[in-house]
Amino acid sequence: MLKTFALILLVLSLALFSGSCAVHRAEAPAIKPPEEEADCSIPVLQDELARLEHALKGPGEGRVNDLLRVARLSFLLGELSPKEEKSRYFEKGEHYSQLLLREKPYGVEGHYWLALNLCGLAEQGGARRGLKMVPEIVEELEKALKENPAYDQAGPHRVLGRIYFECPSWPLSVGNIPQAYSHLSAAVAIAPENSTNHLFLAETLFKMGKTEEARQELQMVLNGTRNALCRKFLEEDRQEALRLLQKK
């Protein structure tokens, strides 16, 4: 998932929480973890999004989970939709992620989905806009990593690792292959069943000149059983792994 980070230039900015956060965490409402989508059909996802948006207009006990689901659905639809429709969904995702953070400010979920939807907007907006958005994107990803590095099948590590991989190095930016390797190795260790974790690590290993290790990771992509977003992307990862195995 999330292969559109080439325009993002990284500026690290850590946000440290005060000791009072522990109290808020204990009182935060329960929230369901994300699950891989069985059906990535755009009309099906659009129908669910519309239903949940309507439900969110009124009060309800499941509001936090609904906000999380809408933020995730918006990002997924942004990834799947034609170019002219992408920004509209990423903007929805940004909006609902902000609302989720108001309801549950000290959990991983709001920070993570806000970061991903902002990444989508940065990519669609071009290099100049992406550069302006970078500090907020990275701040949210670092907060998500601090809260729960295993969330979304090691999503915080996976996304940060990919950003380090894609960015140009200093002085143009802070692209850093060793840092990418560190994050993606952690992602593989946390969620070894995730195909994208192995694919991103393999591409990093190729850039490091570690061809044999990279090919081993590509074989793990072919054996992967999960993708953080949907099964469609699992098959795409496998096809990319086959392409790289033939090329390399």
pLDDT tens digits, residue range 109-152?
Answer: 999 999 999 999 989 988 777 777 777 888 899 999 999 999 99
Q: How many CA atoms lie within 13 A of 48 on its CB side?
A: 18
Chain-centroid distance of CA 95 in Å reads 16
CA 113/CA 110 separation, integer angstroms: 6
User: Mean pLDDT of all residues in the chain?
Assistant: 85
CA 43/CA 77 separation, integer angstroms: 10
Reduced to 3 states (helix: H, G, I; strand: E, B; else coil), residue 243 is helix
Closest CA to 11 of 101, 133, 134, 179: 134
Q: 195-207 vs 211-223: helix axis angle to the nearest 10? A: 170
Domain 21-247 sits in CATH at 1.25.40.10
Taking only the tens place, the pLDDT of each residue in 13-38 is: 323 222 223 323 334 455 655 667 77
| Total H helices, total E strands in the chain | 11, 0
Taking only the tens place, the pLDDT of each residue in 40-90 is: 899 999 999 999 999 998 876 779 999 999 999 999 999 999 999 999 999
Q: Are 32 and 194 in contact (CB under 8 A)?
A: no
Q: Which pLDDT does position 137 carry in this prediction?
A: 84
Would you state the structure tokens that stand for residue 240, as one six-digit string? 């990319």
Our CA angle for 114, 118, 121, nearest 5°, is 145
Closest CA to 133 of 7, 16, 17: 7
Secondary structure element (H or E) that encloses residue 95, with its range: helix 83-103
Q: Which pLDDT does position 119 carry in this prediction?
A: 92
Would you state the structure tokens that stand for residue 53, as one six-digit string? 């948006």
Kindly report the pTM of this predicted structure.
0.84
CA 203/CA 214 separation, integer angstroms: 7
